[in-house]
Amino acid sequence: MTPPETQGQGIAAEAPQGSPAVSLCVMRKRADFLKAASARRQGTGGFLLQARDRGDADPQTRIGFTASKKIGNAVLRNRAKRRLRALSREVLARHARPGWDYVLVARPEATVSRAYADLCSDLEQALRSIHRDRS
């Protein structure tokens, strides 16, 4: 049995404040991760950001998350990926560019233990560095 709808739920609900300016899609294919790994990268204190411009006409922004066994057991890997997903919803929704692929790679101990505000500022700084004109 479902509870009755309250104000702000259902069909008439409005989009939350700061809804994404670009459409975010999660990458699943290994080939996409490998292409992003061979493109631009920017390390931060909490994670590694890999990014590439696909160069196709698709305006969708794709994002991937990686947490290897170096992070720890399954509980720590899942916690690291949850934090990275939350970062992407908050920061990438505002600063990502259409037609780009981004991969966030968790770092041992740092991704799980670093303050969330520091992770947000790390991602914003990494995106500025990645998108800086390299002529």
- Residue ranges of domains in the chain: 24-125
Q: Which residue, among 19, 49, 17, has the nearest Cα to 121 in the 3D structure? A: 49
Rounded CA separation 96/89 (Å): 10
For residues 27 and 16, give the distance between their C-alpha atoms in angstroms, rounded to a whole number: 24
pLDDT in tens, 8-63: 555 554 544 554 456 679 999 999 999 999 999 999 999 999 999 998 888 899 99
pTM for the complete prediction? 0.80
Of the options 3.40.640.10, 3.60.10.10, 3.40.50.11900, 3.30.230.10, the CATH number for the domain spanning 24-125: 3.30.230.10
Give the model confidence (pLDDT) of 86-127 as tens digits.
999 999 989 999 999 999 999 999 999 999 999 999 999 999
Buried b (16+ CB within 10 A) or exposed e, 23-50: eeeebeeeebbebbeeebbbebebbbbb
